[in-house]
Structure 1
Amino acid sequence: MKAVGFKHIYGPVLSRRLGRSLGIDLVPFKTCTYDCVYCQLGRTTDKTIKRKEYVAVDAVLSELERKLATGDIPDYISLAGSGEPTLNTCIGELIDKIKSLTDVPLAVLTNGSLLWMKEVQEALMAADLVLPSLDAGDEYLFQCVNRPHKDISFEYMVNGLAEFTKRFSGEVWLEVFLLAGVTGIPSEMKKIAALIKKIGPARVQLNTVSRPPAEEFALPIPPERMYALKEFIPGEVDIISENKEDKVHIFASYEANEADILALLSRRPCTAEDIAGGLGIHITEAINTSKH
């Protein structure tokens, strides 16, 4: 008999940043503070800064307990998914309860747009790792690339990132998503680099388009160009790539089912190889299920 599917939990995902990451979705699909031109999930359908209890803590914990009981232990538990997780007012309570449930490190993948709010900063303090974003060096390109909610200014966002990073006892890994001919040019990288110095993350992770974006004009930067742009950035810098040699070898200890695969695909575009690696199944099973 197939296991009952999960409503809020998906994966593990074979993440280029976190290894095998078990995702938790805290908001409805495409409920976000931004409408980024590069988003692999398409256009935002509910652009908001209204925080509320989109998903109940007890419902998430019940699913997480069932998932961990399978014996398949991920490298990270990630609060991420198909929207902006900090929009959920219960995120702090959930982090605390997950930390009391398991020793698996907990990461929060956020666009960082609400970190100027003290209550959002406080909610994330118990996490092990926070991965926010900075995709532009000024207000103009912030509006062009991230298309934020009208009540989010570039200044508020950057100051929130800097203040949170100084207060947070865990590590902050700042993702910088670059677009060819827009932000991936020396003049813009110099602006971004100055802000990175102000924010002070433990490491910076440069990324670019690798899956179909929300807008056709959001174009990727070739690997050799990414390495050249890396030289502008101070401190520890990673290039997030799709290279096969970066893949992690997986040996899962439980049997993934169709519901697991469909839950993963509903939140993240994946190749058959991604599915097989994350869920620990044979690639032919991933191909057959993803066709249905």
Structure 2
Amino acid sequence: MGHVYGPVPSRRLGRSLGVDLVPFKVCSYDCIYCQLGRTTEKTLERREYVPITEIMADLEGLLAQGVRPDYISLAGSGEPTLNSGIGELIRKIKAVTPIPVAVLTNGSLLWRDDVQEELLAADLVLPSLDAGDAALFELVNRPHAGISFARMVEGLETFTRRFPGEVWLEVLLLGGVTGIFHEVEKINALIERIQPNRVQLNTVARPPVEDFAYALSLKQMRALQQAFTVPVELIGGIDQGNAAPDGASAAGAERILALLERRPCTCDDLARGLGIHVLAAMKELDPLLATGQIQTVVIGGKHFYRARPEEREGVALP
């Protein structure tokens, strides 16, 4: 299962089966808050980084095992719209399963006609908007030189108007940077232009790449939420109704490592996402820790497990 991982516990999508369309950290941004580390290849080149036939083989194999997530999410460890086969992949997924397809994107390429056309078959697109002006866009997202702030915002606006499904815009705020009222007012003005179906407010929840990417407290988030003139929802914790049943079986070390290579998780995250008991998750984590394949990090008082950097670089993608 080199290209499909999870299901992962998603605060936005419930249990989400992830699909990786590019090699590790091939992206158009190098965001200071990224949970996966620094971008290894910052690019705007669109090509079939991962063969669609291989992705479908992995996906159909998991679906045949009875895995039934709430969404199949095209996301992974880089920017999925860089894969030129994303449109073909969406169509093929919808031909074999009724599970809705979501695309999690940084939104940097939505100004391109070809990207817009290819995403039209998806059920849900979740782009990001992390800054209200060009200066903070450069600071927070560290985009490829070929992406201007104005072009990125225009892409969000034109795609949202064209897309027949729903667009849920994520706004991630950082303490002392964008998490202040003056900056939120700028972001709000852009949201009024873009007019997404939902706006979801977020802050750092997993270990960021840069130590100065500070999370906001719940009290601060609620205060900033009031500064928006459009309806804004705070992204909360995992729904406890998604907890794994007591009798669930082990997921296997390979599936757990594949998940942790893409995103840090707590033990509870792993249990809920993979549909196993929390004790089974702990049993699988112990040998991975002992052999040094994963490590722990504490953020916000929670213990997260993640693949060691040298393991991440070895993700089995072309």
- Fold conserved between structures, TM > 0.5: yes
Match in the other structure for 1:64: 59
* CA shift digits 1:23-42 (9 cap, x unpaired): 00000001100000000111
Match in the other structure for 2:29: 34
How far the C-alpha of 1:253 sits from its partner, in A, is: 7.5
Q: 1:98 to 1:245 in 2, by over 3 A?
A: closer
Counterpart secondary structure, 2:242 = coil
In structure 1, C-alpha distance between the alignment counterparts of 2:62 and 2:256, rounded to whole Å: 14
In structure 2, C-alpha distance between the alignment counterparts of 1:246 and 1:119, rounded to whole Å: 40
How far the C-alpha of 1:71 sits from its partner, in A, is: 1.1
Q: 1:245 to 1:67 in 2, by over 3 A?
A: closer
Give structure 1 regions of 4+ aligned residues with deviation exceeding 6 angstroms. Answer: none
Counterpart secondary structure, 2:107 = coil
* Match of residue 249, structure 1, among 228, 235, 243: 243
Match in the other structure for 2:278: 283
| Cα pair 1:203 1:235 within 8 Å, conserved | no
Q: Aligned letter for 1:161?
A: L
| Cα pair 2:244 2:277 within 8 Å, conserved | no
Alignment of 1:90-239 (within 5 A): 90-239=85-234
Q: 1:208 to 1:246 in 2, by over 3 A?
A: farther
| Cα pair 1:13 1:23 within 8 Å, conserved | yes
| Cα pair 2:188 2:230 within 8 Å, conserved | no
| Cα pair 1:30 1:45 within 8 Å, conserved | yes
| Cα pair 1:70 1:254 within 8 Å, conserved | no
Counterpart secondary structure, 1:44 = coil
How far the C-alpha of 1:284 sits from its partner, in A, is: 2.2
Match in the other structure for 1:3: none
How far the C-alpha of 1:249 sits from its partner, in A, is: 2.8
Q: Aligned letter for 2:215?
A: P
* CA shift digits 1:185-240 (9 cap, x unpaired): 00000000000000000011111011111100000000011011111223332111
| Cα pair 1:130 1:171 within 8 Å, conserved | yes
Q: Aligned letter for 1:41?
A: L
Counterpart secondary structure, 2:102 = strand
| Cα pair 1:71 1:253 within 8 Å, conserved | no
* CA shift digits 1:106-130 (9 cap, x unpaired): 0000000000110000010000000
In structure 2, C-alpha distance between the alignment counterparts of 1:224 and 1:99, rounded to whole Å: 41
Q: Aligned letter for 2:149?
A: F
In structure 2, C-alpha distance between the alignment counterparts of 1:169 and 1:50, rounded to whole Å: 27
Give the aligned CA root-mean-square deviation in angstroms. Answer: 1.5
Q: 1:159 to 1:200 in 2, by over 3 A?
A: same
Task: Compare relative contact order (CA 8 Å, sep 6+) and give the higher one, 1 or 2.
Answer: 1
In structure 2, C-alpha distance between the alignment counterparts of 1:247 and 1:234, rounded to whole Å: 32
| Cα pair 1:23 1:81 within 8 Å, conserved | yes
How far the C-alpha of 1:10 sits from its partner, in A, is: 0.2
Match in the other structure for 2:312: none
Counterpart secondary structure, 1:115 = coil
Q: Aligned letter for 1:248?
A: N
Alignment of 1:74-85 (within 5 A): 74-85=69-80
Counterpart secondary structure, 1:86 = helix
| Cα pair 1:24 1:78 within 8 Å, conserved | yes
Could you tell which deviates more after superposition, 251-260 or 191-200? Answer: 251-260
Q: 1:148 to 1:177 in 2, by over 3 A?
A: same
Structure 1: 5+ residue stretches without partners: 1-5
Match in the other structure for 2:305: none
How far the C-alpha of 1:286 sits from its partner, in A, is: 1.5
Q: Aligned letter for 1:119?
A: D
How far the C-alpha of 1:260 sits from its partner, in A, is: 1.1
| Cα pair 1:142 1:154 within 8 Å, conserved | yes
| Cα pair 2:249 2:276 within 8 Å, conserved | no
| Cα pair 2:249 2:280 within 8 Å, conserved | no
Alignment of 1:46-65 (within 5 A): 46-65=41-60
